[in-house]
């Protein structure tokens, strides 16, 4: 029984080395080299080429090395074995850093003061406290809940929007299609931490941007998307920025990555582009997570964080 490491888009070298070093790891196969498909019982994947996993007759579980499984689920030949995703404190803490950084950046008008400094201008604006600003988080899963907790601790008025509307202490929760409009209407800083599914594709569109609170204390609402690029309609976001429905958009994820040099997002003065690094998957942490799950599975225990193929996350 072997573990196949099948990674695209990230350098596989570190992962292969880490898996081989991890105590208790099964023998590790590197998908870039010839291997016996029948020897593979587990696969550790990121953007694995479609069709590859279907060639493994003895596969028992697939481990996605990130939190979002949209790339794997796009493979129509994906075997019907359990698909495990990452839910890990290291990845979660990294995402919370990113969200808090960009919420505070908008709240504390960092760009405004940087521009004023460039003009040698002593610009002074009223600075509302965090409790005057309303943050709304779309996606109250592992990542959304953690970021919400830290933002609430800083003092922001935090609301969350999810499919089922499970309660989260200290956070006002809105649910489903009927909850979306009121959720947006009370939101000054919108954070998207949704998975990409057929239901969420294109959800960050012009109508959504126009539905955000236009009466907040920060000179217009801001959008932070660290979920997936397919959530956003780039042309709609640019339109909302130009019309003044949005004051700023911070985007970590894009429909095509790397973001093509021709994209107008690169140069728009109200857009911040980051290179899909809000929360990097750390091989040292995640190899341990995968090997521990394999150990538990081999001992007859249940795999954790198994994706529900029906809902797509």
By C-beta, is 29 or 224 nearer to ligand NDP? 224
Q: Which of residues 72-131 bind ligand OXD (CB under 6 A)?
A: 86
- With CB under 6 A as the contact rule, the residue among 26, 66, 160, 211 that binds ligand OXD is 66
Does 228 participate in catalysis according to the annotation? Answer: yes
Q: What minimum distance in Å lies between the beta carbon of 122 and ligand NDP?
A: 37
Residue 279-308 contact track with ligand OXD, rule CB under 6 A, x = bound: --x---------------------------
112 binds, among ligand OXD, ligand NDP, none (CB under 5 to 8 A by kind): none
Does 206 participate in catalysis according to the annotation? Answer: no
**Is 250 near ligand OXD (CB under 6 A)?**
no
User: What is the rounded distance in angstroms from the CA atom of residue 272 to the CA atom of residue 270?
Assistant: 7
Catalytic residue among 102, 228, 245, 248: 228
Report residue 247 as tokens: 């004051």
Which residues 6+ apart lie within 8 Å of 97 measured at CB? none
Q: Which of 145, 102, 43, 130 is nearest to 272 (CA)?
A: 102
Contact of 303 with 294, CB cutoff 8 Å: no
Show the DSSP H helices in 108-205 as ranges: 110-118, 142-154, 176-185
3-state class (DSSP) for residue 159: strand
By C-beta, is 195 or 220 nearer to ligand OXD? 195
What is the residue-wise DSSP string for 86-106?
Answer: ---HHHHHHHHHHHHHHHHHH
Q: What minimum distance in Å lies between the beta carbon of 85 and ligand NDP?
A: 7
The helix-helix angle for 89-107 and 142-154 (nearest 10°) equals 40
Catalytic residue among 94, 106, 145, 276: 276
Contact of 39 with 29, CB cutoff 8 Å: yes
Residues binding ligand NDP (CB under 6 A): 66-68, 87, 91, 95, 139-144, 162-164, 166, 193-197, 199-200, 226-228, 252-253, 276, 278-279, 313
Q: What minimum distance in Å lies between the beta carbon of 308 and ligand OXD?
A: 16
Buried b (16+ CB within 10 A) or exposed e, 35-68: eeeeebbbbbbbbbeeebbeebeebbbbbbbbbb
Q: What minimum distance in Å lies between the beta carbon of 137 and ligand NDP?
A: 9
Q: What minimum distance in Å lies between the beta carbon of 18 and ligand NDP?
A: 19
* Residue number closest to ligand OXD, CB atom: 66
**Is 71 near ligand OXD (CB under 6 A)?**
no
User: What is the rounded distance in angstroms from the CA atom of residue 303 to the CA atom of residue 122?
Assistant: 57
**Is 67 near ligand OXD (CB under 6 A)?**
yes
Show the DSSP H helices in 36-172 as ranges: 70-73, 89-107, 110-118, 142-154
166 binds, among ligand NDP, ligand OXD, none (CB under 5 to 8 A by kind): ligand NDP
- In the complex, which residues of this chain contact ligand OXD (CB under 6 A)? 66-68, 86, 281
* Catalytic residue ranges: 228, 276
């Amino acid at each position: 029984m072997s573990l196949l490491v099948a990674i695209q888009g990230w350098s596989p070298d570190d992962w292969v080395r880490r898996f081989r070093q991890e105590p208790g790891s099964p023998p590790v196969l590197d998908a870039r080299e010839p291997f016996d498909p029948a020897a593979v019982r587990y696969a550790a994947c990121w953007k694995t080429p479609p069709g590859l996993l279907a060639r493994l007759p003895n596969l028992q579980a697939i481990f996605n090395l990130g939190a979002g499984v949209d790339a794997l689920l796009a493979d129509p030949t994906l075997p019907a074995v359990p698909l495990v995703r990452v839910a890990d404190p290291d990845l979660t803490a990294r995402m919370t850093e990113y969200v808090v950084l960009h919420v505070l950046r908008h709240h504390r008008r960092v760009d405004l003061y940087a521009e004023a400094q460039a003009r040698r201008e002593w610009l002074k604006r009223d600075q509302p406290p965090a409790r005057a600003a309303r943050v709304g988080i779309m996606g109250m899963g592992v990542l959304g809940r953690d970021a919400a907790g830290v933002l609430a601790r800083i003092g922001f008025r935090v609301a969350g929007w999810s499919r089922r509307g499970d309660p989260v202490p200290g956070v006002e929760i809105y649910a489903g299609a009927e909850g979306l409009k009121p959720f947006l209407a009370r939101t000054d800083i919108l954070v998207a931490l949704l998975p990409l599914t057929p239901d969420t594709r294109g959800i960050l569109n012009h109508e959504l941007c126009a539905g955000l609170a236009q009466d907040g204390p920060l000179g217009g609402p801001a959008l932070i998307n660290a979920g997936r690029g397919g959530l956003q309609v780039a042309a709609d976001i640019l339109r909302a920025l130009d019309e003044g429905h949005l004051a700023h958009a911070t985007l970590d994820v894009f429909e095509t990555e790397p973001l093509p040099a021709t994209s107008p997002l690169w140069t728009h003065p109200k857009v911040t582009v980051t290179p899909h690094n809000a929360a990097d998957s750390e091989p040292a942490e995640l190899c341990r997570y995968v090997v521990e799950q394999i150990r538990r599975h081999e001992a007859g225990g249940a795999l954790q964080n198994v994706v529900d193929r029906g809902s797509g996350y």
